[in-house]
Amino acid sequence: MAKTTKKRRGPQPAAKAELNVPVRVGQTVEVEITGLNHEGAGVGRIEGYTLFVDGALAGEKVQARVDHVKKNFGFAKLASVVEASTFRSMPPCPVYDRCGGCSLQHLAYEEQLRHKQQIVRDNLRRIGGFPVEGEGAIPVHPTLGMSEPWRYRNKAQVPIGEENGALVGGFYAEKSHSIIDMDECLIQHQANDEAVSAVKRIAASLSIQPYDEVRHTGLLRHVVAKIAVKTGELMVVLVTTEETIPRMDELVDAIRTQVTGVTSIVQNVNPDKTNVIFGKKTVTLWGSDVIYDYIGPIKFAISARSFYQVNPAQTEVLYNKTLEYVGATGTETVIDAYCGIGTISLFLAQKSKHVYGVEIVPEAIADANRNAELNGVKNATFETGPAEVVIPAWKEQGIRPDVIVVDPPRKGCDEALLTTILEMQPQKVVYVSCNPSTLARDLKVLAESYEVREVQPVDMFPHTGHVESVALLVRKDMDR
């Protein structure tokens, strides 16, 4: 008999311990909702265990189906409302329950504004350790909202795919890459909806193949539409996997004929297997390379890949508040860290002696210089590089800012930049934030030398959980 060798088994992974929590996946539970988290989900507790319930509102009693549990908290879907909030609203969007674009259409708009104010207050207290109530509290003002909080987005980025052999385009279902085919989004500018719908119809009629992100086949990946609200100029961007577009002349002619107001048709080529929308190569197929829009009196050139605020009406509100907090009288030197394409810098240059803008993205600085020239602004200087490197170099050149403005991405300010600000000791810091948690974290650092005087939330994205804020910080040795 042949000799057999018994395989020696190595250490075996321990069986996953069952979590000792009062709910289980698949269970339907009744829970009272006491608040909303920063993403707009209802917050309830069962035997002290926190449960986040999508679609539930503060003050409600609901039936919820548990779909995920962790040691300290779990997630559930709303099954039914037992006792409804007086602020519950009927979402007007027909695909609201499936689309992942909005999270708060079911909450009355005025209550959305109060919720966003509270989110900012809660983060300042919990993360920053700042008082927000009683004596010595930092004033967090009521959120500045919109009189008409619909149709505000000036840019649509619509993924294209295939379903049952037909070209479809819309937005992704919540927490997935499954496309919900749609021709209308109630927070999109109507011109963008009409442009995207027309391009989908035209592409299908010309048998242009939609992209399949699983197989990485097909041609048309995204349709991007940008409307300049003040001028009415419209850009259509076709994001494709290859440079060659079959029947391209027919496609361009049809878009020119069927899309009202189009002044620019652009192709961007992205051959990579990635979730990033744009590739490196962009060509203009017809019309202008850019469209022009205004924020207040400042004119901006917007290219296919330019970053530009998607809610221009509220951007003007946000920037006017920033200008107010800077308090420029014409004698101040201002540094704008994270200046992007110069939107805030050019606003500040109207009333400042000189503005210095720094941004790590070279293309953005090129746009900033172009926008300065477009507006005849001579008192703005832009430089490419990390703010924490460029600003100290400016200091060595003798530049002493009276005010530093920061408008960082969601991750907040680089730690080295905060150190630089504390070393340079400007009279004021104005912090423009798109993330209340990193705002609170960074203000806690700056509070070493600065008093946080006030914070103004601004609703840039109605019906979503996002909130922007502007905070005014004044050096502690300055007179009130």
Task: Please report where in the chains the tokens 């009279």 appear, as a residue.
Answer: 427
Strand (E) or helix (H) holding 82: strand 73-83
434 is catalytic: yes
Question: For residue 319, how many other CB atoms are within 10 A of its CB?
Answer: 23
Are β-strands 49-54 and 73-83 bridged in parallel, bridged antiparallel, or unpaired?
parallel
Q: Give CA torsion, residues 314, 318, 324, 330, to 10 deg.
A: -100
C-alpha span between 76 and 81 (Å, rounded): 13
What does the alpha-carbon distance between residue 184 and residue 39 come to, in Å, rounded to a whole number? 24
Detail the DSSP E strand segments found in 250-330: 262-269, 281-287, 291-295, 298-302
3-state SS, residue 209: coil
**Could you list the pLDDT tens digit for every one of the 480 residues in the chain?**
333 333 444 444 433 446 889 999 999 999 999 999 988 999 999 999 999 999 999 999 999 999 999 999 999 999 999 999 999 999 999 999 888 789 999 999 999 999 999 999 999 999 999 999 988 999 999 999 999 999 999 999 999 999 989 999 998 887 788 899 999 999 999 999 999 999 999 999 999 999 999 999 999 999 999 999 999 999 999 999 999 999 999 999 999 999 999 999 999 999 999 999 999 999 999 999 999 999 999 999 999 998 899 999 999 999 999 999 999 999 999 999 999 999 999 999 999 999 999 999 999 999 999 999 999 999 999 999 999 999 999 999 999 999 999 999 999 999 999 999 999 999 999 999 999 999 999 999 999 999 999 999 999 999 999 999 999 999 999 876
For 296, the 3-state DSSP assignment is coil
407 belongs to an annotated ligand binding site: yes
The residue whose two tokens read 């009415």 is 232
pLDDT at 306: 87
Question: Is the CB of residue 62 less than 8 Å from the CB of residue 28?
Answer: no
Beta-carbon count within 10 A of 464 CB: 18
| Strands, sheet with 179-181, edge to edge from the N-terminal-most edge strand | 179-181, 166-172, 155-163, 220-227, 234-240, 262-269, 281-287
Amino acid at 398: G
Residue ranges and CATH numbers for the domains of the chain are 22-88 (2.40.50.140), 90-148+311-480 (3.40.50.150), 155-295 (2.40.50.1070)
Q: Which of 353, 343, 329, 327 is nearest to 428 (CA)?
A: 327
Closest CA to 370 of 423, 306, 429, 466: 306
Q: According to the annotation, is 309 in a ligand binding site?
A: yes
Give the pairing type, strands 42-46 and 28-36. antiparallel
